[in-house]
Structure 1
Amino acid sequence: MVKATFESKEHCYGSRRLLGALRDEGVSIGRFKVRRLMKQQGLRPIWKRKFIHTTDSKHNLPVAENLLNRQFNPKAINQSWVADITYIRTRSGWVYLAAVMDLFSRKIVGWAMAPHMRAEMVTSAMQLAIARRQPEPGLIAHSDRGSQYAGAAYQSLLTRNGMRCSMSRKGNCWDNAVVERFFLNLKMERTWRKDYANHGEAIKDITDYIVRFYNEGRLHSTLGNMTPNQYERQAA
Structure 2
Amino acid sequence: MSSQRYTPEFKDEAVRQVLERGYSVAQVSDRLGVSAHSLYKWVKAVKPDDSERKASELIEAKSEILRLRSQLRRTEEERDIPKKGRKVLCSATRVKYRFINDHRHMHRVATMCRVLRASRAGFYAWFHKPLSDRAIEDQRLLGLIRESYAASSGVYGYLRVFADLREAGETCSKHRVTRIMRENKIKALRGYKAPRRIVGRPSILAPNRLNRAFTVDHPDQAWVTDITYIRTWQGWLYLAVVVDLYARKVVGWSMKPTLAREIVLDALLMAVWRRKPKQRVLVHSDQGTQYGSDDWRRFCAAHNLEPSMSRRGNCWDNAVAESFFSSLKKERIRKRVYKTRDLARADIFDYIEVFYNRSRRHSHLGDVSPEAFERALL
TM-score in terms of structure 2 length: 0.46
Displacement of 1:137 in angstroms is: 3.4
- Residue 264 of structure 2 aligns with an amino acid whose one-letter code is V
Q: Say if 2:295 is the partner of 1:135.
A: no
Q: Which residue of 2 aligns with 1:29?
A: none
Q: Which has the higher helix share?
A: 2
Displacement of 1:139 in angstroms is: 0.8
> In structure 2, which of residues 319, 329, 342 is the aligned counterpart of residue 187 of structure 1?
329
Cα distance between partner residues in 2 of 1:173 and 1:90: 25
Q: Say if 2:302 is the partner of 1:160.
A: yes
Q: Which residue of 2 aligns with 1:88?
A: 230
The CA deviation string for residues 85-121 of structure 1, in whole angstroms up to 9 with x for no partner, is 0000011111000000000000000000011111001
Q: Which residue of 1 aligns with 2:246?
A: 104
- Residue 163 of structure 1 aligns with an amino acid whose one-letter code is L
Q: Which residue of 2 aligns with 1:198?
A: 340
Displacement of 1:162 in angstroms is: 1.0
Give the secondary-structure state (helix, strand or coil) at the position aligned to 2:277.
Answer: coil
Q: Which residue of 2 aligns with 1:207?
A: 349
Cα distance between partner residues in 1 of 2:298 and 2:279: 14
Aligned length: 177
Q: Is the 8 A contact 1:137 1:161 kept in 2?
A: no
Cα distance between partner residues in 2 of 1:205 and 1:107: 18
State, as a whole percentage, how many aligned pairs show the same letter.
Answer: 46
Displacement of 1:194 in angstroms is: 3.5
Give the secondary-structure state (helix, strand or coil) at the position aligned to 1:156.
Answer: helix
Cα distance between partner residues in 2 of 1:213 and 1:78: 21
Cα distance between partner residues in 1 of 2:254 and 2:336: 20
Call closer, same or farther: CA 1:69–1:174 in 2, change over 3 Å.
same
> In structure 1, which of residues 117, 124, 148 is the aligned counterpart of residue 266 of structure 2?
124
Give the secondary-structure state (helix, strand or coil) at the position aligned to 1:78.
Answer: coil
Give the secondary-structure state (helix, strand or coil) at the position aligned to 2:269.
Answer: helix
Coordinate RMSD, CA, aligned: 1.4
Displacement of 1:191 in angstroms is: 1.1
TM-score in terms of structure 1 length: 0.73
The CA deviation string for residues 122-155 of structure 1, in whole angstroms up to 9 with x for no partner, is 0000000000000123210000010101101111
Cα distance between partner residues in 1 of 2:321 and 2:235: 24
> In structure 2, which of residues 272, 280, 289 is the aligned counterpart of residue 147 of structure 1?
289
Q: Which has the higher contact order (CA 8 A, sep 6+)?
A: 1
Cα distance between partner residues in 2 of 1:207 and 1:137: 28
The CA deviation string for residues 23-74 of structure 1, in whole angstroms up to 9 with x for no partner, is xxxxxxxxxxxxxxxxxxxxxxxxxxxxxxxxxxxxxx95200000000010
Give the secondary-structure state (helix, strand or coil) at the position aligned to 1:217.
Answer: coil
Runs of 5+ consecutive residues of structure 1 not aligned to the other structure: 1-60
Moved more, 100-109 or 137-146: 137-146
Q: Say if 2:370 is the partner of 1:228.
A: yes
Call closer, same or farther: CA 1:154–1:140 in 2, change over 3 Å.
same
Runs of 5+ consecutive residues of structure 2 not aligned to the other structure: 1-202
The CA deviation string for residues 156-176 of structure 1, in whole angstroms up to 9 with x for no partner, is 111001111100011110000
Query: Which portions of structure 1, spanning 4 or more consecutive aligned residues, are displaced by more than 3 angstroms?
Result: none
